[in-house]
Each structure stands twice: as structure tokens, then as C-alpha cells.
Amino acid sequence: MATILNGKQVAAEIRAELKTRAEALRKDGTIPCLAVLLAGDDPASKIYVRNKKRACEEIGIESRELLFPESVTEEELIAQIRALNADPAVDAMLVQLPLPKHINEARVLAEIAPEKDADGFHVVNAGRLFTGQTSVLPCTPAGCMELLRRAGVEFSGKHAVVVGRSNIVGKPMAMLLLNEHCTVTVCHSRTKDLARFTRDADILVAAVGRPGMITGEMIKPGAAVIDVGINRLDNGKLMGDVDFASAEPVAGAITPVPGGVGPMTIAMLMQNAILAAEKRHG
């Protein structure tokens, strides 16, 4: 039986720690502030933004919501980002993705000042992570690392296998594990015989977006398994990339979906906002 890595509980602990840090900042006259830019009417994006606002309220971070119609232009978004960059009361910001199709996401994201980049997606932050410098960390991979750390999982010399190579999850995840001295293998859609790699993983991270694709027989007995996938099934239920029923008896530790990585992502976003406010405060 695997230890269940309860992201919901760990995220609540982190939010409580952040609340204390926010209170200390406020007492000293610095009100932590996170700005969220949302363009269009995507229902999932609206839910994400609402959840982020709630987390801010709980912790004591001022949240500024900037809403734009689907027809917003790149120039309008960029002008707003530049204004937020120049506003000393704003510690961090994020642009909720996806942006409307006519907008060049990379161009817009590049406008965010790297030190105010709450999501850690800016190329400067990616480059800093790649070169082992202090950077704003992307929230989902940072949340996975925090879950592993708090569960006492050892990194040095372990074989970590990351399935998925996106810029927001797979690649930074691999880099964080490498920085902790794991031997890292990154798998993707062209990987031949995926199970050959996953079966050798002491730490296995699945970030693909295919429900239940990692089954128990693909997992090394005792491995720590982190399931980043969030897939909505036809019956409306959420399922991860890992087939929990067959994986849990084999793994040493495993995250559930929901209640694993998801809540950690928001907690790490809040942490990025507090870190930025602490920097401003000196």
C-alpha cells in the first residue's frame, strides 16, 4: 500500500504558513498584491481565476482582476502589462492562459517583468532555472517538488522519469529534479517502449493529459509517483494520467487526482506572490 501524498492537506499547510508571512508584511506596511489578467469567456479559465482570487483572500494578498473581452488586442494587453510592471504596489501578475486565438501568447508573456512573473513562465526565469540560478519557479513543477520534499523522498542519485516535455510542466520539472541531483530521463510522444523507462523510475512524474495511461505494471515497486494529469472523463469525473487502482498497490507513494498536484499549483502561485512582496519589502 502506497503512502498517499495528500496535496490538499499539504497545500492548506503552505497557505497557513503564507498567511503568517502576509500578516508580517502587512504589519510592516507592505500589502502583497497579485494582478490577474483574463481575456475572453473561457469557463475553465474563469473558474481558475476565481479559485486564485479566493486563495489570495484567504492568505491576505490583494488581488487585482483585469478583465478583457475576447476581442482584446495584443497592444491593449501589452499596455496593461507595462502599466502593472511600472506600478510599485503590484508585486506579481499572471496572464490566464489560453489567450484568445488571435493573440500571440509568447509575445504577451514576454512583456511581464521577470521579477513580477507569478507563473514563472518568462524565458528569463526559464533560463535562470536552466542555469541553476535563483528564479521564479513555475507553480506546478514547484508544487510537485514540495510534495516530494515534505514526504521525505530522497533525490540525490535517484532515477527520475518525467513523462511529458511541455514548457510549463515537463521541462521545468526535469530541470528541478536535475538540480536536486537526480538522474533524469524525459519521455514524450516519440519515446519508444515507454514502460522500459517508467519501470526503472524511483521517482515517476506523469504530465501528459491521457487518462490512466500509466498502469501499475509500468511502475517500479516502491516508486514515488506524481500524477500531474487532469483529465475530464465523459461521465464528468476527473482522472489523472496514472491508473490509480493498479498503481497504488505497487507504488511507495502516490498523489491522488483530484487532491494531489492541483491544490499545490495554487499554493505555489501564492508563494511566488509572497516571495515577490518580501523582495519589495527588503
Annotated catalytic sites, by residue?
52, 96, 119
156 vs 235 by CB, closer to ligand NDP: 235
Distance CA 273, CA 282 (A): 14
Find out whether the peptide bond into 249 is cis, omega within 30 degrees of 0. no
Distance CA 40, CA 167 (A): 23
Residue nearest to ligand NDP (CB): 166
Nearest-approach distance from CB 184 to ligand NDP, in angstroms:
15
38 vs 90 by CB, closer to ligand NDP: 38
251 vs 261 by CB, closer to ligand NDP: 261
Q: Which residues bind ligand NDP (CB under 6 A)?
A: 140, 163-166, 168-170, 187-191, 194, 207-210, 228-231, 261-262, 265
Distance CA 106, CA 49 (A): 20
32 vs 141 by CB, closer to ligand NDP: 141
Contact between 81 and 111 (Cβ < 8 Å): yes
Nearest-approach distance from CB 264 to ligand NDP, in angstroms:
7
Nearest-approach distance from CB 18 to ligand NDP, in angstroms:
17
Contact between 213 and 241 (Cβ < 8 Å): yes
Residue 112: closest CA among 140, 141, 139, 136:
136
